[in-house]
Amino acid sequence: MDLFIDTANLKEIEEIAQWGVVKGVTTNPKIFSQEEGADLKTRVFEILKLVPGPLSVEVTTNDFEEMVEEASVYAAWSPYVVVKLPMNENGLRALKVLKGYSTKIIVGSIRHLQHINQAAEAGAHITTVPYKFFREMARHPQTDKTIDEFLEAWNKIKVPIA
């Protein structure tokens, strides 16, 4: 299962991308609205410099014709842009028009770490993970304790490495 960071914040994307676990970025109109003063197209290209795709960009309308038009514009920006459509009647109609592309199951709206495990168990292709959960996934009390034990044991023997 691939992990995509669910944000449009450049600092968050840059930090987590350095870990080497992020395969893409997901966004939505609400996420973009939280990036004060950010122009959508400019931000898309800024994100693609940090994580060269895929980057999901969601349409901002429920109108069928507008969805198709907007999706076409976003898709033309880069081959790495993946258009997200709402799961409603018009979104399904738009999918039919826009399809000829392969699809993947994306699990989003992660509200706690267990959702990530459940997505993997359910066979999701991609899970969109908010920044705060990437930070939490990198920490576990037992893992931290075990790492400390390993280092403490190693420091007691002080064997030089070649």
Q: pLDDT of 11-54, one tens digit each?
A: 999 999 999 999 999 999 999 999 999 999 999 999 999 998 89
What is the pLDDT at residue 101? 61
For 110, the token pair is 């992660």
Q: Please tell me the distance from the alpha carbon of residue 129 to that of residue 108, in angstroms, as a whole number.
A: 7
Nearest to 104 by CA among 134, 125, 133, 74: 125
Q: Which two tokens stand for residue 113?
A: 């770490």
Place of tokens 């991609």: 126
Q: What is the DSSP letter of 138?
A: T
- In CATH, the number for domain 2-157 is 3.20.20.70
Q: Return the active site residues.
A: 84
123/112 Cα distance (integer angstroms): 18
**What is the distance of C-alpha 89 from the center of its chain?**
25
Please state the rounded mean pLDDT for residues 81-109.
87
Helix (H) or strand (E) holding 112, with range, is: none
Q: What pLDDT digit, counting tens, does each position of 44-93 carry?
A: 999 999 998 899 999 999 999 999 999 999 999 999 999 999 889 999 99
Using CA atoms, how far apart are residues 123 and 148, in angstroms rounded to an integer?
34
Domain boundaries in the chain?
2-157
- Give the model's pLDDT for residue 139: 87
Return d(Cα 128, Cα 7) in angstroms, integer.
9
DSSP-derived letter for residue 20 is T
The whole-number pLDDT of residue 12 equals 97
What is the pTM for the complete model shown?
A: 0.83
- Which value, in Å, is the radius of gyration of the alpha carbons in the chain? 20
* DSSP conformation class of 114: H
Q: What is the pLDDT of residue 119?
A: 93
CB-CB contact of 85 with 91 (8 Å) = yes
73 contacts: CB under 8 Å, gap ≥ 6: none
